[in-house]
Amino acid sequence: MAEKFLVETSARHVHLTEADIETLFGKGATLTHKKDLSQPGQFACEERVTLVGPKKSIPNVIILGPARGATQVEVSFTDARTLGVTAPVRESGDVAGSGACKIVGPAGEVDIAEGVIVAKRHIHMTPADAERFGVKDKDIVKVALESNGRSTVYGDVVVRVSPKFALAMHIDTDEANAACAFGEFYGEIVK
């Protein structure tokens, strides 16, 4: 029997630069830690923003900390259609030529010319995890998710390896809904 790993749903969220945090929340503002996420050093923040696209807005969008070198918005395809933006499937950080939107906070707003993506489904692994699973960084694998009535095999899953990671697969809300992957859920690599 293949070893299973946690599959987590990564809902829409925003990563912000220090400068954009100050623009959105005021001079000297910093992100307020609300709760730790499964990846070491990553956390959900108390602060929220509104995403504004050509068609509609999505309020109350969570910010993930800590601050980053580039502002990035991660949405599902459903969210992108709601906003009226084109968001390509990309790995986090690969924002060149991606979608545009406005981010609105209580103290100001930021127009990003690029940075809106649909995150490519991926598995975070440590080097020891990768060795155990027989994969390496940037490998593309298939992952089976067994659920009641909607079992799914997802292809095009990128393996991301770093000693800073904790073992977990991330899928967006559209993908989680398609597979009925609710609550504590596990997947396995299909060879």
Which pLDDT value is given to residue 87? 97
Which pLDDT value is given to residue 174? 97
The answer to whether the CB of 6 falls within 8 A of the CB of 184 is yes
What is the pLDDT tens value at each position of the chain, 191 positions in all? 579 999 999 999 999 999 999 999 999 999 999 999 999 999 999 999 999 999 999 999 999 999 999 999 999 999 999 999 999 999 999 999 999 999 999 999 999 999 999 999 999 999 999 999 999 999 999 999 998 889 999 999 999 999 999 999 999 999 999 999 988 999 999 98
Q: Is 113 exposed, middle or buried (0-12, 13-18, 19+ CB in 10 A)?
A: exposed
Which pLDDT value is given to residue 1? 58
Closest CA to 127 of 156, 174, 170, 166: 166
Q: What is the pLDDT of residues 35-74, one digit of tens each?
A: 999 999 999 999 999 999 999 999 999 999 999 999 999 9
Task: Please report the DSSP string for the chain in residue order.
Answer: -PPPEEEEE--SEEE--HHHHHHHH-TT--PPEEEE-SSTT-EEEEEEEEEE-SS-EEEEEEEEES--SS-EEE--HHHHHHHT----EE-TT--TT-EEEEEE-SS-EEEEEEEEEEEPPEEEE-HHHHHHHT--TT-EEEEEE--TTT-EEEEEEEEEE-TT--SEEEE-HHHHHHHT--SSEEEEEE-
Which pLDDT value is given to residue 191? 84
